[in-house]
Structure 1
Amino acid sequence: MAVHTDHIRLLFGLKLKQLRLDRGLSISELAQASGLSVSYFTEIEKGRKYPKTDKIAAIAAAMGVDYDTLVSLKLSKKLEPISDLLRSKFLTEIPLELFGIDPSDLLELLAEAPAKVSAMISTFMEIGRSYNMSVERIYMSVLRSYQEMHDNYFEDIEAEADRFLEQYASGNTPVDESLLTSLLRSNYNYKIERFDRASRPDLAPLRSFFRPESSTLYLNGHLSEEQRLFILAREVGFRFLNLKNRPLTYAYVEADSWEQILNNYKASYFAGAILIRRTMLIERLQELFNRESWSNDGFLELIQSCRATPERFFYRLSNLLPRYFGIDQLFFYRINNTSGKTSYHLTKEMHLSRHQGPKGIVDEHFCRRWIALTILQELSFTQQHKNFGGALCRAQLSTYADSEQTYFIVSVAQPYQPHQQENMSVSMCFKMTDTLRTKMRFLNPLSPEIPIRIVNETCERCGIFDCRERVAAPIILQRKRQLEAMKLALEGLK
């Protein structure tokens, strides 16, 4: 893989500095021996300048190495992790400016403390290998950080969505499947076809895929109306926002670059913004928050009136609540479960705060008191015994036993892949704050329709020993207490 020009300068500077230190030379001693200035050597070692051929030859002679060794991009074992990083896509593809980081500052950091930074990079890469982290997962982690940093709200995309609505769906004209299909065919020369998972089982997990050479969009024939509507809106988003580097499938088969991940997010954000209008949702949320009592059915009706899946609706909430209601202490997650089974899998999460939630927990049993899990149990029961095929909505006030933090949680469960008897619940969790109580009238006083439960993170960490819902021993908590007891015993030794 080719190395970026800026990185070639840095590699040369790192190598020069390491060779100089290995020989016990100061910058002034090397400058005097080579006939170059101290300030010039400083610029070279920081990766800001790359010397010309005659000066490289003078430096090589002064250090007692041959010219080819000095200009080679091969680094010592100490600096190999930095070399691997610079040769990777990370620094060239991910726009560090999005996070307020000047790339030159990062390069200077690498140059200032190469050994320490090298050790840190090596550690992170080893962690990634140990957990089998794919490039896609790394990119998605970067994307989540980017969303969290901006409270998942982007005014430029909102403005583009408003411009689209004014042009194609002014007033109360709905953005429906007919409008989107017409735009794709007439404005962008799309052909739209459907495929059946029975005849193409290898493509069953995909909701759609796009063939750019024929401008053909293939839609899974088993999609719901809401899913199909969102995919069409996302396709319009790619075109309307002129996002050329894009994934060709819905559900990543492979992510080629960070730009592709970012563009997919922008098109998806645009789709949500034109399907669930900002002004309309703000007005309806204000009416909902002013109610004195909570209604599960009423909240479910609001989602359905927006012609959105629960997941897409919650996601749109995360765009607007921080900006227009000042509610920013929240997180969202999705849990999947096979009907009748007792295993639950966290398949998506997004945090707009650093507080409680399933973030970072793997290979443990989530608390069975979570509304996100109990609603899945209820859905499974109604499916098996009452022939129910719809969605359920439940709310709960959850106080974590360890941290004593309290959250108002709304969870919606529905079939995810009915042919595989797989269900999912999506939950939006709001930290109980004075702002939240002020904005949501039904929380102050608490609406009787909202039950209260003491919960925890996982069974393995939980100290509620009389919990009837426990499915695993508190082994992590026990280890922690054993370690604390050992420390106390050691302190008692005189």
Structure 2
Amino acid sequence: MNANDTNAEHDENMLDSLTVGRRIRQLRTDRGLTLDDLGAELGRAASQVSVIENGKRELKLGELQKLARILGVTVDQLLSPEAPSRRAALEIALERAQRGPLYSSLTLPSLPVRKSLSDEAIETILGLHDELKRLHRERAATPEEARRANTELRKSMRKRNNYFGELESTAKQLLDAVGHAGGPLSQRVASDLATHLGFSLHFVPDLPGSTRSVTDLRNGRIYLPVGQADGSDPRSTLLQALAGHVLGVGEPKDYADFLQQRVDTNYLAAALMVPEHTAVGFLLAAKSKRELSVEDLRDTFAVSYETAAHRFTNLATQHLGVPVHFLKVHEGGSISKAYENDSAAFPTDALGAVEGQLVCRYWSARRVFDISDRFSPYHQYTDKPGGTYWCTSRIQSSSRGYFSVSVGTPFATAKWFRGRDTTNRATSTCPDESCCRRAPESLADRWEKFSLPSARLNSSLLAAMPTGMYPGVDSTEVFEFLEHHDG
């Protein structure tokens, strides 16, 4: 029996005890008996009868038979699941609510159910309790809810071609305010931007492990780690913190809101590092020469390849008229991030989510891992069920292993890209299982009954998404950190 079964059984028993207790009280008062009267007949103290009527003790069969005889009813009538009256139903619901885990977590005093407590007051309390339950259900984002939120967010990004004009305007205003004319954004200019927004920077060795940065709004400080993780850009962490302040990011109301906040802050930070007005000019010039290249965008603005790839998808369709798709894929083949507005058919689950799905092993995002030259970009044409796509991929390392970052476009618009003359070609019929998801028949016949692999699964595969002030952040740790550094 699992925890859910145990809880359900406990709730059911509690409901029986409460209902039986209220029925006994109703029958006792209908017959004009006091607690002392019934206690004397039952051979119990009045206080023990009160405990029974309040549903705080389960009755044995012999006690039920004796009570039924005293009150002139059958045992079946005593055990009827229906509340004896509307008032009793309200009282039972209130008792159940107060005994539940949600009410206990609120650390509120117990509310005695007295006659002076009106039906309307009980209904109001129950309504508030139900609303709190609903909000807690929404906040406790399960993996399924997270996938739904990701799917909806990806749809909304596709509708606007992954271009956020209002955030581009905000980035321009901020850069103009610190006199940045264009080109790579230096660490000094990023610091100037922090000063312009009223923040001083503090690099500390004890930043909470669940955070990338902590912003102290009371003292106007941004705390950053002394050392940076491999492959990370110190400007990115600072700019994301500043973006969160500029956009007024607060405690998310649900997981979808949290994801949207992440997209907005990451977008604004990238727009500061790769400003629209200079990047578009650079890309238009490259397109006129048929030399579009994510590598060149990366080198010109001194950003990571992934940031350049993201930024390319922000601007390519809006300003160049080039539909694109983006993939970040783990070396094991699972999708970490994905975006498309060119109808590239990503693998999806039943909810339409692509995160965690395995990419076809013949796609560029997978084949790049087999290439020995990891210093040069890998280009490939892939014939897919929906058409032929050209794609450029690179590998980057991280603390979680190697990932490929890929940008692709349909065959018709591949003519604008450097690397379009590649001879690398593959055919994919996924999601048809015969493409790459099913082993060749000769291998399957030989090993299907003689293999027992142990899957490497995420440790939080069945866990709910982290809850709290911000998903995954230990708020107590953050507050203790700020208290330690205050003043």
What TM-score bracket applies, with the shorter chain setting the length?
A: 0.5 to 0.7
Contact 1:399 1:407 in 2 (8 A): yes
Q: Which residue of 2 aligns with 1:398?
A: 382
Q: Which amino acid aligns with 1:300?
A: E
SS in 2 for 1:408: strand
Q: Which amino acid aligns with 2:234?
A: R
Larger C-alpha radius of gyration, 1 or 2? 2
Aligned pair in 2 of structure 1 residues 272, 450: CA closer, same or farther (>3 Å)? Answer: farther
Contact 1:245 1:260 in 2 (8 A): no
Alignment equivalent of 2:416, drawn from 440, 454, 464? 440
Once residues 214 and 445 of structure 2 are traced to their aligned partners in structure 1, the CA distance between those partners, rounded to angstroms, is 42
Q: Which residue of 2 aligns with 1:451?
A: 424
Output the aligned Cα RMSD: 4.4
Alignment equivalent of 1:430, drawn from 391, 400, 409? 409
Once residues 445 and 295 of structure 2 are traced to their aligned partners in structure 1, the CA distance between those partners, rounded to angstroms, is 33
Deviation (angstroms), 1:320: 1.2
> Is 2:283 aligned against 1:285?
yes
Alignment equivalent of 1:143, drawn from 133, 153, 158? 153
Once residues 204 and 444 of structure 2 are traced to their aligned partners in structure 1, the CA distance between those partners, rounded to angstroms, is 44
Once residues 336 and 356 of structure 2 are traced to their aligned partners in structure 1, the CA distance between those partners, rounded to angstroms, is 13
Aligned pair in 2 of structure 1 residues 303, 345: CA closer, same or farther (>3 Å)? Answer: same
Q: How high is the sequence identity, in percent, across the aligned residues?
A: 15
Q: Which residue of 1 aligns with 2:394?
A: 412
Q: Which amino acid aligns with 2:269?
A: A
Q: Which residue of 2 aligns with 1:331?
A: 325
1:253-298 residue CA offsets vs partner (Å, 9 max, x unmatched)? xx9654444333222211111211212222222233334578xxx6
Once residues 325 and 464 of structure 1 are traced to their aligned partners in structure 2, the CA distance between those partners, rounded to angstroms, is 36
Once residues 304 and 187 of structure 2 are traced to their aligned partners in structure 1, the CA distance between those partners, rounded to angstroms, is 15
Deviation (angstroms), 1:309: 1.5
Contact 1:336 1:424 in 2 (8 A): yes
SS in 1 for 2:177: helix
1:233-259 residue CA offsets vs partner (Å, 9 max, x unmatched)? 222222334x14168xxxxxxx96544
Alignment equivalent of 2:144, drawn from 123, 133, 142? 133
Q: Which amino acid aligns with 2:261?
A: N
Deviation (angstroms), 1:425: 0.8
1:280-325 residue CA offsets vs partner (Å, 9 max, x unmatched)? 222222233334578xxx6424322221212211111121122112
Deviation (angstroms), 1:158: 1.1
Instruction: Flag structure 1 segments of 5+ consecutive residues without an equivalent.
Output: 1-64, 75-82, 94-124, 248-254, 338-342, 383-389, 476-494
Alignment equivalent of 1:344, drawn from 311, 333, 358? 333
Once residues 334 and 144 of structure 2 are traced to their aligned partners in structure 1, the CA distance between those partners, rounded to angstroms, is 17
Contact 1:375 1:411 in 2 (8 A): yes
TM-score between the two structures when normalised by the length of structure 2: 0.55
Q: Which residue of 1 aligns with 2:305?
A: 310
SS in 2 for 1:462: helix
> Is 2:374 aligned against 1:368?
no
Once residues 396 and 239 of structure 1 are traced to their aligned partners in structure 2, the CA distance between those partners, rounded to angstroms, is 41
Deviation (angstroms), 1:429: 2.1
SS in 1 for 2:318: helix
Deviation (angstroms), 1:171: 2.4
TM-score between the two structures when normalised by the length of structure 1: 0.54
SS in 1 for 2:362: coil
1:83-106 residue CA offsets vs partner (Å, 9 max, x unmatched)? 899923799x9xxxxxxxxxxxxx
1:49-91 residue CA offsets vs partner (Å, 9 max, x unmatched)? xxxxxxxxxxxxxxxx9588798879xxxxxxxx899923799
Aligned pair in 2 of structure 1 residues 152, 396: CA closer, same or farther (>3 Å)? Answer: same
Aligned pair in 2 of structure 1 residues 356, 229: CA closer, same or farther (>3 Å)? Answer: same
Q: Which amino acid aligns with 2:181?
A: G
Q: Which amino acid aligns with 2:411?
A: M
Q: Which amino acid aligns with 1:409?
A: C
Once residues 467 and 315 of structure 1 are traced to their aligned partners in structure 2, the CA distance between those partners, rounded to angstroms, is 37
Contact 2:178 2:193 in 1 (8 A): no
Q: Which amino acid aligns with 1:425?
A: S
Aligned pair in 2 of structure 1 residues 209, 287: CA closer, same or farther (>3 Å)? Answer: same
Q: Which amino acid aligns with 2:171?
A: A
Q: Which residue of 2 aligns with 1:274?
A: 272
Aligned pair in 2 of structure 1 residues 189, 276: CA closer, same or farther (>3 Å)? Answer: closer
Q: Which residue of 2 aligns with 1:230?
A: 236
Contact 1:331 1:357 in 2 (8 A): no
**Greater relative contact order, per chain length (Cα 8 Å cut-off, separation 6+):** 2
Contact 2:168 2:268 in 1 (8 A): yes
Alignment equivalent of 2:171, drawn from 151, 161, 165? 161
Once residues 445 and 224 of structure 2 are traced to their aligned partners in structure 1, the CA distance between those partners, rounded to angstroms, is 45
Instruction: Flag structure 2 segments of 5+ consecutive residues without an equivalent.
Output: 1-84, 91-118, 125-129, 449-487
Contact 2:194 2:200 in 1 (8 A): yes
Q: Which residue of 2 aligns with 1:188?
A: 198
Mapping 1:87-106, distance limit 5 Å: 87-88=134-135
Aligned pair in 2 of structure 1 residues 264, 362: CA closer, same or farther (>3 Å)? Answer: closer
SS in 1 for 2:233: helix
Aligned pair in 2 of structure 1 residues 292, 161: CA closer, same or farther (>3 Å)? Answer: closer
SS in 2 for 1:349: strand
Contact 2:294 2:308 in 1 (8 A): no
SS in 1 for 2:182: coil
SS in 1 for 2:377: strand
Contact 1:412 1:425 in 2 (8 A): yes
Deviation (angstroms), 1:398: 0.7
Q: Which residue of 1 aligns with 2:345?
A: 356
Once residues 192 and 152 of structure 1 are traced to their aligned partners in structure 2, the CA distance between those partners, rounded to angstroms, is 34
Q: Which amino acid aligns with 2:325?
A: F
Deviation (angstroms), 1:432: 3.0
